[in-house]
């Protein structure tokens, strides 16, 4: 006999809720890398070393020289909504750290085997912590190391066969997305002095670094380091000459010259930042690409553009768990302004180009 009573609404158990939501934070090698880099930068690190084994499927490890984690925090690191960075919702407007939700490490614990080796300035020796899937510390042993932290993420998605298979079959693509994230932080961070990336495609530890970056205090020099010196010939500075008292945004960055040959065949090198956070903002990028197309119909520009939203109350950085999507209240003004700036820039830059060829 069919049961006609309506289904009952019941609360989900805490662990179930946690597992359901965690999947949105740590969805890929790239998102794990992003969370690790953010944590290291938030801890004032200047030297970062990232190691990948099997393109990150077997190991993603970040060693930093940051503040380290004090012993009284060991049990809290892996717990959901435990953070040292924000204490009340209102702080969102003033928060200057990349992290504030306190959920990255707890979700990574669900999806992978996490080990943290850390030493805080207050400790005479480091400690190695091993976490279980619930984010609880299951082992702690003294271990010598300098002040700083190493977070190791092993066997990502091992307990989730569908995701694991997916990851393994696209591990190269996932790794290149992770590299893109690394570059996006290297471009914007004035804090990183040394950034080394090592990677192996198989299950052996990499024998030598793939890439060493020593980001400079100038954005231009950093771009040259990442994309090669030759890039300097093909990019122009985005000048923001708007001195209005009541302006809402400030722009600073570089973009490919509009002349053919300076751009790229795909939109693969486009980095946007809002108040120093790497972000995704499709409508804004579309505006930039549309203007560029007007001057160069066959290519996409390299873009590294930092936007400062001057009134923090018109900016919401908490739209998605990965914080990559931001909500800018006056987005259409922001698009209008960049359109003005770029049109002027491209018009004068095309003139220079023509006259220098006479
Ligand atoms: P959030 O960054 O939002 O605070 P996380 O889950 O990413 O949340 O990290 C939890 C806490 O662990 C952080 O608030 C910080 O105190 C500590 N932590 C994580 N990574 C590091 C690190 N590399 N160095 C120092 N402290 C760290
Ligand atoms: Mg964090």
3-class SS string, the chain: CCCCCCCCCCCCCHHHHHHHHHCCCCCCHHHHHHHHHHHHHHCCCCEEEEEEEHHHCCEEEEEECCCCCCHHHCCCCCCCCCCCCCCCHHHHHCCCCCCCCCCHHHHHHHHCEEEEEEECCCCCCEEEEEECCCCCEEEEEEECCCCEEEEEEECCCCCCHHHHHHHHHCHHHHHHHHHHHHHHHHHHCCCCCEEEEEECCCCCCCCCCCEEECCCCCHHHHHHHHHCCCHHHHEEEECCCCCCCCCCEEEEEEEECCCCCCCECCCCCEEEEECCEEEECHHHHHHHHHHHHHHCCCCECCEEEEEEECCHHHEECCCCCCCCECEECCHHHHHHHHHHHHHHHHHHHHHHHHHHCC
Q: What is the percent of the chain with per-residue pLDDT over 70, rounded to a whole number?
A: 94
Q: 45-49, 125-129, 327-331: lowest mean pLDDT where?
A: 327-331
CA distances from 355 to 149, 283, 292, 349 (A): 55, 34, 20, 10
Q: pLDDT value at position 22?
A: 64
Q: 12-26, 188-202, 240-254: lowest mean pLDDT where?
A: 12-26
Please work out whether the CB of residue 64 comes within 6 Å of at least one atom of ligand 1. yes
> How far is the C-alpha of 30 from the C-alpha of 40, rounded, in Å?
15
- R_g over Cα of the chain: 23
Please work out whether the CB of residue 84 comes within 6 Å of at least one atom of ligand 1. yes
Please work out whether the CB of residue 77 comes within 6 Å of at least one atom of ligand 1. yes
Q: 88-92, 131-135, 161-165, 269-273: lowest mean pLDDT where?
A: 88-92
Query: pLDDT, tens digit, for every residue of 155-194?
Result: 999 998 999 999 999 999 999 999 999 999 999 998 999 9
Residue 59 has pLDDT above 50, yes or no: yes
Mean predicted lDDT score pLDDT of the chain: 89
Please work out whether the CB of residue 67 comes within 6 Å of at least one atom of ligand 1. yes
Please work out whether the CB of residue 117 comes within 6 Å of at least one atom of ligand 1. no
**More confidently predicted of 43 and 81:** 43
CATH number for the region 219-356 comes to 3.30.230.10
The whole-model pTM stands at: 0.91
> pLDDT band for position 143 (50/70/90)?
very high
> pLDDT band for position 357 (50/70/90)?
very low
What is the residue with the minimal CA distance to atom 21 of ligand 1? 39
b/e per residue 195-226 (b: at least 16 CB within 10 A): bbbbbbeeeeebeeeebebebeeebeebbbbb
Q: Under 8 Å CB-to-CB from 13, ≥6 apart: which residues?
A: none
Q: pLDDT value at position 98?
A: 86
Residue 356 has pLDDT above 60, yes or no: no
Q: pLDDT value at position 102?
A: 82
> Which of 165-169, 308-312, 324-328 is the most confident on average?
165-169
Please work out whether the CB of residue 35 comes within 6 Å of at least one atom of ligand 1. yes
Closest CA to 54 of 154, 211, 199, 208: 199
Q: pLDDT value at position 355?
A: 39
Residue 77 C-alpha to ligand 2 middle, in angstroms?
A: 10
Rounded to the nearest angstrom, the gap between the alpha carbon of residue 59 and the centroid of all alpha carbons in its chain is 18
> pLDDT band for position 292 (50/70/90)?
very high
Please work out whether the CB of residue 135 comes within 6 Å of at least one atom of ligand 1. no
Q: pLDDT value at position 351?
A: 59
User: For residue 101, which atom of ligand 1 is closest to its CA?
Assistant: 3
User: For residue 82, which atom of ligand 1 is closest to its CA?
Assistant: 10
The question of ipTM being above 0.90 is answered as: yes
Residue from 99, 149, 191 to probe ligand 1 pocket by mutation (most atoms less than 8 Å from CB):
99
> pLDDT band for position 352 (50/70/90)?
low
Residue 21 has pLDDT above 80, yes or no: no
**What CATH architecture does domain 14-213 belong to?**
2-Layer Sandwich (3.30)
Domain boundaries, the chain: 14-213, 219-356
> How far is the C-alpha of 53 from the C-alpha of 62, rounded, in Å?
12
What is the residue with the minimal CA distance to atom 20 of ligand 1? 39
> pLDDT band for position 354 (50/70/90)?
very low
> pLDDT band for position 24 (50/70/90)?
low
Q: Under 8 Å CB-to-CB from 268, ≥6 apart: which residues?
A: 180, 300
What is the residue with the minimal CA distance to atom 2 of ligand 1? 99
> pLDDT band for position 1 (50/70/90)?
low
Query: pLDDT, tens digit, for every residue of 236-282?
Result: 999 888 888 888 999 999 999 999 899 999 999 999 999 999 998 89
């Amino acid at each position: 006999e069919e049961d006609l009573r309506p289904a009952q609404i019941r609360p989900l158990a805490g662990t179930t809720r946690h597992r359901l939501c965690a999947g949105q934070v740590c969805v890929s090698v790239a998102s794990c890398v992003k969370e690790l880099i953010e944590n290291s930068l938030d801890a004032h690190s200047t030297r970062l070393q990232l190691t990948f084994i099997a393109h990150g499927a077997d190991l993603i490890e970040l060693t930093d020289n940051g503040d380290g984690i004090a012993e009284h925090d060991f049990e809290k690191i892996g717990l959901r909504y435990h953070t040292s960075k924000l204490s009340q919702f209102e702080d969102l407007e003033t928060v200057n750290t990349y992290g504030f939700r306190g959920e990255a490490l707890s979700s990574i614990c669900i999806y992978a085997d996490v080990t943290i080796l850390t030493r805080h300035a207050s400790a005479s020796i480091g400690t190695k912590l091993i976490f279980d899937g619930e984010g609880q510390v299951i082992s702690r042993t003294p271990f010598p190391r300098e002040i700083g932290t190493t977070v190791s993420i092993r066997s990502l998605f091992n307990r989730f066969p569908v995701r694991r298979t997916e990851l393994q079959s696209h591990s190269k693509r996932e790794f290149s997305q992770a590299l893109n994230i690394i570059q996006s932080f290297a471009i914007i961070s004035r804090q990183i002095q040394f950034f080394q990336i090592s990677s192996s495609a198989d299950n052996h530890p990499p024998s030598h670094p793939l890439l060493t970056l020593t980001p400079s205090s100038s954005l231009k020099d950093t771009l040259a380091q990442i994309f090669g010196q030759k890039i300097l010939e093909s990019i122009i500075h985005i000048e923001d000459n708007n001195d209005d008292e009541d302006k809402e945004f400030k722009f600073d960055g570089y973009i490919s010259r509009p002349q053919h040959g300076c751009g790229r065949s795909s939109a693969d090198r486009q980095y946007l930042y809002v108040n120093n956070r790497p972000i995704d903002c499709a409508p804004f990028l579309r505006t930039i690409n549309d203007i560029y197309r007007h001057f160069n119909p066959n290519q996409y520009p390299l873009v590294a553009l930092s936007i400062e939203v001057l009134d923090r109350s018109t900016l919401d950085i908490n739209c998605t768990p990965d914080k990559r999507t931001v909500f800018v209240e006056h987005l259409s003004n922001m698009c209008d302004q960049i359109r003005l700036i770029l049109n002027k820039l491209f018009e004068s830059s095309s003139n220079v180009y023509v006259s220098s060829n006479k």
